[in-house]
Amino acid sequence: MRTVIRGGTVVTPVGCFPADVLIEDGVIAGLGRGWSADVEVDAGGCLVLPGLVDPHVHMGLRTGEFTTSDDFATGSRAAAFGGVTTIIDFAAPEEDEPLDRALARRLAEAENRCQVDYDVHVAINRAWDSLPQEVQRCIELGARAFRLYTAYPGLRLDDGEIYTVLRLLKGKGALVRVHAENAAAVETMKAEFVREGATTPYHHYLSSPEFVEEEAVARLLLLQRESGCPIYFNHISTGVALRLIQQAKLEGQRAYAEVCPQYLFFTAEVYRREDGALYLASPAFKGERERLELWRGLERGMVDAVGTDHCSFTREQKMRYAGDFTRVPKGVPGVETTLPLLFTEWRRRGWPLEELVALTSYRPSRIFGLYPRKGAIQPGADADIVVFDPEEEWEIGADALHMNVDWSPYQGFKCTGKVKSVLLRGRVLVEDGRWKGRKPMGQRVTPVSPGGAGEWTGRDPQGGIVGPPVRGTKLGEFIWAG
Ligand SMILES: [Zn+2]
């Protein structure tokens, strides 16, 4: 079956140009003009963007008495409405559960439920004796990224364990991704506030202020340098951390920084609002200076990927213990709103669109080994495509969104630009803002690159040539260099 996306402007990490996109068997077969088609998708006046790769979501996450309101089915459908065609979620082993079994269990939860493609990264929450064997089995199951926590009692590893894991993963083509906060400092300050009965949402920020992230990032970068295992920092929320990571890159370290929209649009001041508990997330939102530093980091190319940390709890769940920040489930919904929010700002600031698709699609695909199947509109890539109307003005309202949650942090935000149509591997999921998908067709995308590390070989796993690499771009400079 031949599908043609007609009349749009294609945006790639290295340039924007008017072209039709020819799709055959779910794969991009050409960019050009004049093809006939079985299925036509109108992109007149629109941008044609690569589907977003959201490298950080939590669907159906259980935490204590709470389970997120979005599971793989509802969250992935909402993702598609937002132009996200690949999501990366996590497997957290239960007590004594081997890592590979946790991975298999989580993959089974996503299978046949996910409307978009997905991968699962494995959380290492203890350093058992059998860790090397379990890691090896995960790698055989296609895992190329492992998640570590420095925060959260019960999940976090101590420095010795972290260093052990980093050395273990080095040379296996795998990378670690970390939540970087100094847990001891956070727990100490938290306990002090609890003793004083000072547990408002704002005290969440006061008990995990800027320095707890700065310290942990500095420490982890040193451990990374000594171990040589690539490291990806989840949800960076401070300017100092961003600069530390940048400095490490300049010295040849393989370190990557992710930012999430909520840290770009909010500060800890929202915690003082009556509904401040809604916005509680971990790490806490920080001060205005940090927020501006993150934008500056985006402008200067210091950020490698945008992920949402999508973690949806209903208004009731968030507000149940609003007076005690220690009991409020942390996280905010956002998988559906990334593209319009960022596009609006990009347009206002006059920033190049190439950079936007690099941050939301190309670079996360490179880092996590999904490129060139994902991450760019080019021959041989999966036809994961967003037709985006850059002119439509609209206002975000939770009622009109598709996430299974009754509020949005961005309620009332005015956006310019809206997702019109979305294709996953050539199949239309969303057309003119209406759902066209049928039974879930999301597949797991395992890293295609040898070693999982985005190293271009020009060949797909089956051995066929899959198209030219995107080269000659400053965007890829830090990706697996050195
Ligand atoms: Zn997260």
Interval 310-355: pLDDT, tens: 999 999 999 999 999 999 999 999 999 999 999 999 999 999 999 9
Provide DSSP, 364-380: HHHHTT-TTTSSS-STT
The C-alpha angle 45, 48, 50, rounded to 5 degrees, equals: 165
| Whether the predicted pLDDT of 200 surpasses 80 | yes
Give the pLDDT score at 424.
98
Ligand 1 centroid distance, CA of 233 (Å): 11
Query: Looking at residues 460-477, what average pLDDT do you find?
Result: 33
For ligand 1, the distance from its centroid to the CA atom of residue 188, given in whole angstroms, is: 23
What integer pLDDT is reported at residue 448 of this predicted model? 61
Q: Label the pairing between strands 2-6 and 20-24.
A: antiparallel
What is the average pLDDT across 14-19?
Answer: 92
pLDDT at site 465: 31
For the residues 13-28, what does the mean pLDDT come to? 94
Ligand 1 centroid, distance to 355 Cα (angstroms) = 24
Check pLDDT > 70 for residue 26.
yes
Res 181 pLDDT > 60:
yes
Whether the predicted pLDDT of 294 surpasses 60:
yes
CA of 456 to the centre of ligand 1 (A): 28
The pLDDT, as a whole number, for residue 34 is 87
Q: How far is the CA of 150 from the centre of ligand 1 (A)?
A: 13
Work out the pLDDT band at 446, boundaries 50, 70, 90. Answer: confident
Give the mean pLDDT of 281-290: 98
Note the pLDDT of residue 172. Answer: 86
pLDDT of 209 higher than 80: yes
* Residues with Cβ–ion distance below 5 A, ligand 1: 309
Could you give the angle at the alpha carbon of 74 between the alpha carbons of 232 and 285, nearest 5°? Answer: 45
pLDDT above 90 covers what percent of the chain? 83
In the reported structure, the alpha carbon of residue 375 is separated from the centroid of ligand 1 by a whole-number distance in angstroms of 21
More confident residue, 417 or 465: 417
Tell me how far the alpha carbon of residue 132 lies from the centroid of ligand 1, in angstroms: 25
Average pLDDT, the chain: 91
For residue 289, the CA-to-ligand 1 centroid distance in Å is 23
Tell me how far the alpha carbon of residue 42 lies from the centroid of ligand 1, in angstroms.
36
Distance between CA atoms of residues 313 and 371, nearest Å = 32
pLDDT band at 363 (very low <50, low <70, confident <90, very high): very high
Any bridge partners for residue 259, and if so which? 306
Least confident of 182-186, 283-287, 367-371, 470-474: 470-474
Q: How many angstroms separate the alpha carbon of residue 19 from the centre of ligand 1?
A: 37
**DSSP assignment string, 68-121:** -S--HHHHHHHHHHTTEEEEEEEE-PPTT--HHHHHHHHHHHHTTT-SSEEEEE
Q: Is the pLDDT of residue 177 over 60?
A: yes
Does residue 366 surpass a pLDDT of 70? yes
Compute the distance from residue 311 Cα to the ligand 1 centre, in Å: 7
Residue 462's pLDDT is what?
Answer: 33
Flag whether pLDDT at 377 surpasses 60: yes
Give residue 330 CA to ligand 1 midpoint distance, Å: 10
How many angstroms is it from 281 CA to the middle of ligand 1?
9
Average pLDDT over residues 98-118: 96
| Model confidence pTM above 0.85 | yes
* Residue 373 Cα to ligand 1 middle (Å): 25
Instruction: Give residue 40 CA to ligand 1 midpoint distance, Å.
Output: 38
What's the CA-to-centroid distance between 342 and ligand 1, angstroms? 20
Distance 65 CA to ligand 1 centre (A): 18
- CA 57 – ligand 1 centroid, Å: 6
Instruction: Say whether pLDDT at 453 is over 50.
Output: no
- CA–CA distances in Å: residue 298 to residues 95, 264, 346, 413, 472: 39, 10, 10, 21, 20
Domains, in order of start, for the chain: 52-367 (3.20.20.140)
195-210 average pLDDT score: 98
Distance (Å) from CA 182 to ligand 1 centroid: 16
CA of 31 relative to ligand 1 center, distance in Å: 36
Measured in whole angstroms, how far is the alpha carbon of residue 298 from the centre of its chain?
15
pLDDT above 60 for 28: yes
The helix/strand/coil state of 360 is helix
CA of 17 to the centre of ligand 1 (A): 35
Q: Give 479 Cα–ligand 1 centroid separation in angstroms.
A: 22
Mean pLDDT confidence for 157-164: 89
